[in-house]
Structure 1
Amino acid sequence: MALLHAARANRVMIATAESCTGGMVAAAITDIPGSSAAFDRGFVTYSNAAKIQMLGVSPATLETHGAVSEPTAHEMAQGALRRSDADIAVAITGIAGPGGSDHKPEGLVCFGIATADRVSTETIAFGALGRPHVRKAACDHALALLHKAVDSFPPQN
């Protein structure tokens, strides 16, 4: 996996904070032999209580914006970074389906990427692809975001 090669080359450790993907990103990374050189840990925080307890997401953020929001993804990524030995953390929270609402439809997924000096977020509307396909698309997108972040990370000596 190119992500792990780049992370090892740049001496970057990765953490994940996952909701709708339920650990799929961490599993994709750790399926590769030697991943322990670049993967620190993963947090599966499916419930709001887990987001609060494990990642330090503010209850006010969840109340105001909901679990599926860029502010929540931002705090999840920050929390994973702070509560790990990682240099980069990715967060994923979304509506895998079935269901959703007019405001937050099936396939809406929010992502966060955190490093020591910045956090960026984005939202992707994958559409009503069905639960397995939304989760797979979210996992693949998170891995791509991580790869991009690792590639732009300053090399460590």
Structure 2
Amino acid sequence: MSLEDIAARLGSLLRAGGLSVSTAESLTGGLLGATITSTPGASDYYRGGAITYATDSKATVLSVSETTLASDGPVSPATAEQMAHGVRELFGSSFGISTTGVAGPTGQDGKPVGLVHIGISDTGRTVSHEFNSTGTTRDEVRRQAVERALSLLVDHLNRSEGS
């Protein structure tokens, strides 16, 4: 399934449930939000996004704890979770989704190229998922991170719908 197909599926689920989403991005640099908004009618459910590429912007824009950033670093499950929660609060959306990781060409702070953490936050809980990209270029890592993030949110919505 293409990125556009996954984004369209996500849009259908959000629209059907009267739900909304916002994005917090680091390594994907806006690609996640751009993919979501590539679907016609995305304004029905996409509230907005924050590209917090610099570590300090994660704290100032998304309220990621300085303690978390100092102890766990910008590429960590806790940071992904706090980014997702922060963007959901910032935009007042039903869901916040975040991406943080290492796109390359070299590792960062002892973290390997291709390591990605994706956070999903809703009103009930916030979780993170670790993903190891098989991409060999920055673009491939970023694209795979977006595909995984969208797929995880679709799965999350499908599970919620079935409950």
Question: Is the pair's TM-score, using the shorter chain for normalization, greater than 0.5?
Answer: yes
- Residues 83 and 101 from structure 1, CA distance in 2 versus in 1: closer, same or farther, beyond 3 angstroms? closer
CA contact (8 A) 1:13 1:87 kept: yes
Report deviation, 1:85. 1.9
1:68 maps to: 75
What letter is aligned with 1:55?
Answer: L
Residue pair 1:10, 1:153 contacting (<8 A) in 2 also: no
Q: Does 1:109 align with 2:116?
A: yes
Aligned runs of 1:106-145 on 2, under 5 Å? 106-127=113-134, 129-145=136-152
Deviation string for 1:30-80 (max 9, x for gaps)? 111100111111110000121011100011111000100001001101101
CA displacement 1:4-31 (0-9 Å, x = unmatched): 0111001110011000000111000111
Larger RCO: 1 or 2 (CA < 8 Å, sep 6+) = 1
Counterparts of 2:119 and 2:109 in 1: how far apart (Å)? 23
- CA distance in 1 between partners of 2:110 and 2:135 (Å): 14
Number of corresponding residues: 155
- The answer for the alignment partner of 2:85 in structure 1 is 78
- Between Structure 1 and Structure 2, the one with more helix by share is 2
- 1:28 matched residue in structure 2: 35
Query: SS of 2:97's equivalent?
Result: strand
What residue number does 1:56 align with? 63
Detail structure 1 runs of 4+ shifted over 4 Å in the superposition: none
Structure 2 Cα separation of the partners of residues 3 and 109 of structure 1? 21
Summarize deviations over 1:98-156 as a string: whole Å, max 9, x none.
0005941000001110001101111111145211100000011111112122233459x
Segment of structure 1 superposing worse, 100-109 or 117-126: 100-109
Q: If the length of structure 1 is used for normalisation, what is the TM-score?
A: 0.93
Q: Is the 8 A contact 2:118 2:149 kept in 1?
A: yes
Gaps (5+ residues) in structure 2? 1-7
Structure 2-normalised TM-score? 0.90
2:97 maps to which residue? 90
Instruction: Write the letter of the residue equivalent to 2:142.
Output: R
1:10 aligns with 2:10: no
Residue segments in structure 1 that go unaligned for 5+ positions in a row: none
